[in-house]
Structure 1
Amino acid sequence: MSRKMTALVIGNSSYPGHGLKNATNDSEDISKKLSEFGFSVIHLSNAKKRDIDDAVKSFRDNLNSNDIGLFYFAGHGMQIEGENYITAVDTEFETEMDAKYSSYPLNKVIDLMERSNNKTNIVILDACRNNPYERAWHRAPSQRGLAPVFAPKGTIIAFATSPGEVAGDGAGRNGCYTEALLKHISLPDIPIEEMFKRVRNSLSVSTKNRQTSWEHTSLSGDFFFYISLVNAVGKYTKEAISDGLFHIKTDLELHRVILDLKSHHWYTQNPAVRNLKSEDISSSDKNSVFVLGRNLYQAACGSANGASDFISEFRDRTQGVDDKLRRAVLEGMLFEIFFNSKGELRENFKTSKFNEVFEYQQYSEFDESFKFISDILANYPNRFHIIPGKDRSVSVDVETNENDEGELKVIGVHLGGINILREDEDYGFYVDDGEVPYEAFRKAALERRISEDMLIPNSKLTINFDFYADKKSKILFPYGHTVAK
């Protein structure tokens, strides 16, 4: 199941004379979380009114090409003459009139979301903070915070506190409301209305009943921030998706093969795979066969030659096997590249046999298997340049310069005109004198490295060098760098 989702997230803290401690932290943490869910996020910190206006225009354009739209604001909000406004860091607060015309009207955001072509809209406002600027305006207590807002069809609007009340900025990294929101937003398979009820309960406890969050909703369908992989996949059981839970039945031949593959010892793994027969697969169920595929791939990545040979000979080794079971083996291999034994997306993908498995993308008989993996990975678009499994060819341009020894050093790898070469933050190497060391590659090895980093198979990737490169060319690549997303 693939969802196209866009978000505009704003956090303003640096108000003149009366800054907020946590609003920018709130927006940073919400942006990160939404990105993990697959939202394409526009994020602003300490935005001026012009910045907000420009970002809202970009957000408006994004809404029409997405299914889900979300607007989040943390900072000072206020109601003037019954209308709600979110404030910029350059809002003028001397009078109500100054503030009104130098702030951004919330209704403008809600209206453009309502008029867009998407199906579901979410507005989250941690903007009911105690606003010291309002004290000079001699306002009644009922005018504090934000006014109630009508939610158009297909929209839910969530407030950090009830109408006319104010919210706490929090004692830790986050405001009280966003802290509670972050606790619950990642819980799997919870409808958004239920999620906000849990936020309200946690918020009530943490503020000793001083703050009660509030929502207005006109949603006509269910929305889940985090859909568990079991529900996203649907095709295989929880025990197959989280194969650390898979129960091995030693009276079954295929299960004994899986157990041997899990041994991590070549002298056990290799004979088990070499003795594996198509009849063993045909006589099993799709969940067991899916787990077999996962363990074949992990054994091959551990340099078990028998498993590597099986992957290379997969089409021949599975001739005569029912098509559904055959695809289940391949889908297990594909799944293992991207997901760990808990069924969680890997921090570092398992790519050493990536090209060998994706070689089967060229055969139409396996189209369904590559659609299976691309549909799952479409829920994590921010982790990939191109969703793996999509039948799409990509071209990149490698930029080099020549060092004093006449050797060619890679200084850029350009995709769509953008240099995607970057330091790998997870690599953790230290450069003593500021000079990045380089490692040497032959052309084919560098092409494979780029393919695996980008998770685009060699067969779908064209690499253009800015010099004539033959198979003997030695090319220097910066140590501790990557072209991964």
Structure 2
Amino acid sequence: MQQRTALVIGNANYVGPNTIKLKNPVNDAEAIARKLKKYNFSITSVLDGTFADMRTALNNFQSTIKPQGVALVFFAGHGIQIDGENFLFACDTDASGEGQAKYSSLSLNQIIDVLDRSKADTKIVILDACRENPFVTTWHRSGINRGLASIFAPRGTIIAFATSPGQVAADGLAANGTYTGALLQHIDAPDTPIETVFKRTRNTVAANTAGKQITWEHTSLAGDFYFNTSAISFVTTYAASSIADSLFVLDPGKTSHQIIRGLKTIDWYTQNPAIGRVTPAFANTVKDETLFVLGRNIYQAAHGGARSAEAFIQNFVDKTSGMKSEKIRALLDGIIFEIFFDSKGELRETIKGNMFDEVFELQKFAQFKDSFEFIASTLIGTHGDFYTVPGKGHTLSVTVVTKTEKKGNIITGVFIDTVNVFRLTDPEYAVEDGEPTLARSISQDVFEEQLAKDLIVPQRLLQVRYTPALQPSDKIRYPYGWGVSKK
């Protein structure tokens, strides 16, 4: 899997001489970081950073860049060119004079040099750093120009500017700057080369500023880079109309299509008889790509509570006995795929998890190995973000921390790889310091079943340890509004 890493800096609270505070850069940086995490970037982040903070972060970021990987730098804040060289201001940059500014801000050339020396295949720099600066008129130097200067992009690099060389950009009236706000609108487009993402961003920025702000890129990328890769572009085993099954056209004359149509209804009295028609003898006559769609709809019906569909999955080994191996493979591929991908072939924000554990129990059978390898490779290729990739069969170990209170042991932490992923997910349940936390009392078994679902890992592959140690009969208290999250 291609390793992706990013340095994200947003500086707004400027305190140095001749600088002014900005409204949007911290919001911009936080929004970009969230978006990049969605696409499997590891993030080194600086918000309202000093010059020392920015240098340290650049060094840390440099150590995270992997060979053949992707390295991205995003900066929002004040930036200026001095004698043709670009500098990105820290919150404590001394802008009282040209020399002071040079030596208390981060040179863009230094960032480019770090990227150029790395062995990353794709290097991306995004600069929303061309705001108007008040000190331009106070230095009285001919070497100082508005905005940022044009810069050479080394091989494998794309550098994107919020506006054309020598021009300035709007800080924006909403929560995000004009440029970053536009970029956030287009970065999610599936299977879209980065150059096209920036072109669409340019069009939106021009429209929002009545043509006054025109974005700019320099590129020497040797290949294509996509933030968001959909399953349609990654999976070649099945037709695009099976992967994005909203494109699958039903033919009422075909029995397999009649079954699919029946499963698509939200009517158990129609869904249950349809399942009964899926026999080994019949399945052996159906095309693989149609069986894939059929599998998707069997899981859809089971997820919705259709008893026959649930039973088909629970008794999958027996139900498919007599089917050709390639037909079983296509049917199971579709069942597993439906858990993670929507009708457009894009990763779901939330998986369809009602029958997740029952499906992944099938991973214990050697004859189904190919289907679980298929989903694992597809999730990796489409940058699915999981604690452990479903289908790989890896065990996930967590440590649950509890605190003893009068009413019992209340959960205060769930640690994975030294990080506490247990947090308040519903702000309405926040309490003031000293106030009691509302919680429900549940058994350890019930808690671990819910934890497995939340972490998207089969319960048999989840190892839970408690600190302090608990007796098996001890109940625990689960705070309302809390849960595990990667966000």
Say yes or no: TM over 0.5. Answer: yes
Once the two structures are TM-superposed, the CA of residue 340 in structure 1 deviates from its matched residue by 2.9
**Shift of the alpha carbon at 1:26?**
2.2
Superposed, 1:340-359 pairs within 5 Å as 340-359=342-361
Q: Give the equivalent residue in structure 1 for 2:137.
A: 135
Q: Which amino acid aligns with 1:235?
A: T
What does 1:326-345 align with in structure 2 at a 5 Å threshold? 326-345=328-347
1:51: how far off?
A: 1.3
- Give the superposition deviation at 1:392: 1.4
- Hey, what does 2:370 align to over in structure 1? 368
CA distance in 1, matches of 2:437, 2:158: 50
2:481 paired residue number: 480
Amino acid at match of 2:104: S
SS in 1 for 2:36: helix
- Unpaired runs of 5+ residues, structure 2, are none
Cα distance in 2 for residues equivalent to 1:423 and 1:379: 31
By how many angstroms is 1:57 displaced?
1.5
Match of 2:186 among 180, 184, 187: 184
Using the alignment, how far apart are the partners of 2:289 and 2:431 within structure 1?
A: 47
Q: Distance in 2 between matches of 1:430 and 1:211?
A: 42
Cα contact 2:67–2:121 (8 A) shared by 1 = no
Query: How far off is 1:154 after superposition?
Result: 0.6
SS of match in other structure, 2:42: strand
Partner of 2:321: 319
Letter in 1 for 2:39: F
Shift of 1:94: 0.7
Compute the displacement of 1:269 (Å): 2.3
- What letter corresponds to residue 204 of structure 1 in structure 2? A
Aligned to 1:234: 236
Q: Tell me by how many angstroms 1:79 deviates.
A: 1.9
Give the distance between the partners of 1:170 and 1:401, measured in 2 at CA: 46
C-alpha contact (below 8 Å) 1:38/1:380 kept by paired residues: no
Does the 8 Å CA contact 2:230/2:347 hold for their aligned counterparts?
no
Where in structure 2 are the equivalents of 1:26-425 lying within 5 Å?
A: 26-64=28-66, 67-140=69-142, 143-378=145-380, 383-405=385-407, 407-425=408-426
Whether the 8 Å CA contact 1:6–1:66 is kept in 2: the answer is no
Q: What is the CA-CA distance between 1:197 and the residue it aligns to?
A: 2.8
Conservation of the 8 A alpha-carbon contact between 1:145 and 1:165? yes
Q: 1:342 to 1:401 in 2, by over 3 A?
A: same
Give distance in 2, aligned partners of 1:340 and 1:34: 21
In the alignment, residue 4 of structure 2 is paired with which amino acid? Answer: M
- The reply to whether residue 435 of structure 1 matches residue 436 of structure 2 is yes
Matched position secondary structure for 2:394: coil
Secondary structure of 2:103's partner? helix
Instruction: Tell me, yes or no, if structure 1 residue 15 matches structure 2 residue 14.
Output: yes
Aligned-pair CA distance for 1:449:
1.4
Distance 2:438 2:178 in 1: 46
Q: Which amino acid aligns with 1:7?
A: A
Q: Which moved more, 1:449-458 or 1:190-199?
A: 190-199
Q: Which amino acid aligns with 1:481?
A: W
**Contact 1:381–1:387 under 8 Å retained in 2:** no
CA distance in 2, matches of 1:45, 1:266: 53
Letter in 2 for 1:343: G
Q: For 1:38 and 1:53, how far apart are their aligned partners in 2? A: 24
Structure 1, residues 301-350: CA drift from partner, whole Å, max 9, x if none? 22222112211221222233233331222222212222233434333322
2-structure distance, mates of 1:478, 1:307 = 34
Match of 1:412, SS? strand
Q: 1:340 to 1:200 in 2, by over 3 A?
A: closer
Cα offset for 1:358? 0.9
Deviation, structure 1 residue 97: 0.7
Distance, in Å, in 2 between the alignment partners of 1:438 and 1:324 is 49
- Of 210-219 and 68-77, more deviation after overlay is shown by 210-219
Partner Cα separation in structure 2 for residue 434 and residue 382 of structure 1: 38
TM-score by length of 1: 0.91
How many pairs are equivalent?
481
Question: Secondary structure of the residue that 1:378 maps to in structure 2?
Answer: helix
Alignment TM-score, normalising by the size of structure 2? 0.91
- 1:447 is matched with 448
Q: Which amino acid aligns with 1:449?
A: Q
Paired residues of 1:3 and 1:378 also in contact (CA < 8 A): no
CA distance in 2, matches of 1:110, 1:166: 21
1:343 partner SS = coil
State the shift of 1:71 in Å: 0.6
Deviation at 1:473, TM superposition (A): 4.6
Distance 2:91 2:144 in 1: 25
SS in 1 for 2:158: strand
CA distance in 2, matches of 1:368, 1:263: 30
| Residue deviations 1:99-122 (CA, integer Å, cap 9, x gap) | 111101111111111111211101
When residues 214 and 434 of structure 1 are mapped into structure 2, their CA distance, relative to the original with a 3 A threshold, is: same
- Partners of 2:430 and 2:219 lie apart in 1 by 51
Is the contact made by 1:36 and 1:380 (CA closer than 8 Å) also made in structure 2? no
Question: CA shift at 1:219, angstroms?
Answer: 1.0
CA distance in 1, matches of 2:482, 2:137: 53
